[in-house]
Structure 1
Amino acid sequence: MFQTRKTGMVARIPPHVFFLVSAVFHYLGPACAVLLFSSISVLGVAWFRIASAALIFALWRHPWRTLLNMPWAKRRILLALGIVLALMNVCFYLAIAHLPLGTVGAIEFLGPITLAALGARTPRNIVALVLAAAGGWLLTDVRFAGQPLDFVFAFANCAFFMLYVILGHRIAQDGEFNGIDRLGASMLIALITITPLGFTGALPAMTQPLLILAGIGVGICSSVIPYVGDQLAMARLPRATFALFLSLLPASAALIGVLVLHQIPSTLEIIGILLVAGGIALHKEVETAPDNHKKNL
């Protein structure tokens, strides 16, 4: 009864609201992560992000029950998503450690734009896609300067981000809260995947409470709130529409810059925000939204 009541409350909230919450917190997490780079290694920060998120999901959703009650054929999707989450975070932090965040964001932005292009089947949606892509490009303030390996990590992050959107939609098709349970299970798998890579780098922070709190903050802002918001939005939005909405991420970064860092956007950034808003306003859904009653994961 309580679960049904919660589902009804969620259904009354437009999916775009959940996406907007996800978009805002998407860039608050990296702000916390930057503070940790001077104290622990990049891979240690990535481990903290995954570990703290996995712990929160474990206490909240008890995701091991999902894994135990699911046939192996369906567990494979959760296994794949967990590995993708771990490697995506590793590549993202290795990239932003040496490249400007705007450059990494621009490269990452290529992924959802590609997914949106695959679903743009009308001239109206193609124009919407072009507007959103142009706006995102202006907002990311791209500067190509860095070592080739740094760009390898940035493009690998882009590829893993595309896989995250695809697999995330797969686990969201059976309803919002089922998707969150499966996300929690995937986060446990991500923790197992990333521990050999990042646990040693996180050890210097284990005796410093402030660094531990900062690491937990990274996990909450970067993985718990955005990924839960994504699941609640993915369950009710077509994949191409969700992918196009990801163009809001650079705009949300600019907004956070104004409110938190008092960074006033330039004329080009304002134009970029307007282009993104115009693209999203022009876009019209042409796919059938995911059927929450499907039982095929």
Structure 2
Amino acid sequence: MSRFTASAGLRAALPYLCLVGAMVSLCAGTSFAKTLFPLVGAQGTSAYRVGFSALILCLIWRPWRMPMTRGDLLAVVRYGAVMGVMNLCFYMAIRTIPLGLAIAIEFTGPLSLAMIHARKPIHFLWIALAVAGLGLLLPLGDVSLNLDLVGVGFAAAAGVCWALYIVAGQRTGHLHGGRSVALGMATAALVVAPFGLVAAGAALLSPLALGLGLVVAVVSSAIPYSLEMVALRGISKRSFGVMLSLEPAVGALAGLLVLGEHLVGRQWLAIAFVIAASVGTVVTDPSRKQAEAPLHD
């Protein structure tokens, strides 16, 4: 009986373990990607990430087999273009600001989207928490924080793209999930590749950089996406959204352990505020239509 109970408990815990594994893999892969910046820059690293991810996803899902109308194709292209810009902006952000802070700022995009139709007083509490978190992240005269405003701007742009990504993704919801993501990622690669080529040039063809770029794509895209697919089969969208809200903290820890990015107390508090706002938004959203994790940062 105890063996049966233990087995049932493991099955119940597996989706949550997969989601935690996805977040850890994503943040660790993004931290590792940052070590590629001296070789090919943020633009080149982003091109590797979406390019190799597109290749892997296309080999797995074979999107050319998916029947599509012209309207469907345009919807997927828009979805992929936003995905590409989101990836590029995020990688440009983490050039100059810590990973955990960049993720926290980016989270304000889907948070804002979720709060557009805020009506209950509790919803405005989450808005206030998110605004307070952002306020703590910005230097606002405190030079000791040393937070690059250009990096903050890129992270905010990535957040806007995340919100647009959600809207664009909903318009492809009637299509095959894996194939539409694969085609979207291929579009994203076409959007990002020119920036990578201009910034890095022939350095993109270096065997060492190519190998490291493939590792980045696998660890920060292929593995997390696969684990999230397993998690979504056993977790409600609400629970998924609550756990996903922990990603800024996971990113901050990954940045600390992999890159040595130390945050001050005020910045950890800001991350806590953003996480609380995200969890609160998920829990009190009656529609339960929460944003799924994008294949990005």
TM normalised by structure 1 equals 0.70
Q: Which secondary structure state, in structure 2, belongs to the residue aligned with residue 114 of structure 1?
A: helix
Q: Is the 8 A contact 1:107 1:158 kept in 2?
A: yes
In the alignment, which residue of structure 2 is the partner of 1:58? 58
Residue type of the partner of 1:203? A
Does 2:95 correspond to 1:94?
no
Residue among 66, 77, 89 paired with 2:75: 77
Q: How many residues are aligned here?
A: 270
Change (3 A) 1:15 1:119: farther
Q: Deviation at 1:146?
A: 3.7
* Aligned mates of 2:263, 2:202 — CA distance in 1: 39
Q: Which residue of 2 aligns with 1:250?
A: 248
CA contact (8 A) 2:101 2:271 kept: no
Q: How far apart in 2 are the matches of 1:248 and 1:92?
A: 18
Cα distance change, pair 128–283 in 1 and its aligned pair in 2 (3 A): farther
Distance across 1 between alignment mates of 2:260 and 2:46:
27
For residues 36-74 of structure 1, what are the alpha-carbon distances to aligned partners after superposition, in whole Å with 9 as ceiling and x for unaligned? 1111232211110111101110121112222xx111111
Secondary structure of 1:27's match?
A: helix
Partner of 1:295: none
How much does 1:187 deviate? 0.8
1:4 equivalent in structure 2: none
Structure 1 partner of 2:159:
158
Compared with structure 1, are the counterparts of its residues 188 and 279 closer, same or farther at alpha carbon in structure 2 (3 Å cutoff)?
A: closer
**Residues 47-56 or 155-164, more deviating:** 155-164
Q: Any idea what SS the aligned residue of 1:74 has?
A: helix
**Alignment partner of 2:120 out of 122, 128, 146:** 122
Could you tell me how far apart the structure 1 residues matched to 2:53 and 2:105 are? 25
Q: State the 1:165 CA deviation.
A: 2.5
Residues 242 and 168 (structure 1), Cα distance of their counterparts in 2 relative to 1, 3 Å cut: farther
Q: 1:158 to 1:128 in 2, by over 3 A?
A: closer
* Contact 1:79–1:186 under 8 Å retained in 2: yes
Give the Cα separation in 2 of the matches to 1:244 and 1:116: 13
> 2: CA distance between counterparts of 1:228 and 1:115?
26
Q: Residues 42, 135 of structure 1: CA spacing in aligned structure 2 closer, same or farther, 3 A cutoff?
A: closer
Q: 1:39 to 1:247 in 2, by over 3 A?
A: same
Deviation of 1:164 after TM superposition, in Å, equals: 1.7
Q: TM-score, normalised by structure 2?
A: 0.70
Could you tell me whether the CA contact under 8 Å between 2:203 and 2:209 is conserved in 1?
A: no
Contact 1:169 1:231 in 2 (8 A): no
Q: In the TM superposition, what is the alpha-carbon distance from 1:82 to its structure 2 partner? A: 1.1
Equivalent residue number for residue 45 of structure 2:
45
The answer to whether the 8 Å contact 1:49/1:218 transfers is yes
Task: Please give the secondary structure, in 2, of the residue aligned with 1:283.
Answer: helix
Q: Which runs of 5+ in 1 are unaligned?
A: 1-11, 291-297
> Kindly tell me: are residues 101 and 154 of structure 1, through their superposed partners in 2, closer, same or farther at Cα, counting changes over 3 Å?
same
The answer to whether the 8 A contact 2:18-2:231 is kept is: yes
Shift in Å at residue 114 of structure 1?
Answer: 0.6
Conservation of the 8 A alpha-carbon contact between 1:15 and 1:237 = no
Q: Which of 188, 191, 210 matches 1:190?
A: 188
Deviation at 1:184, TM superposition (A): 0.7
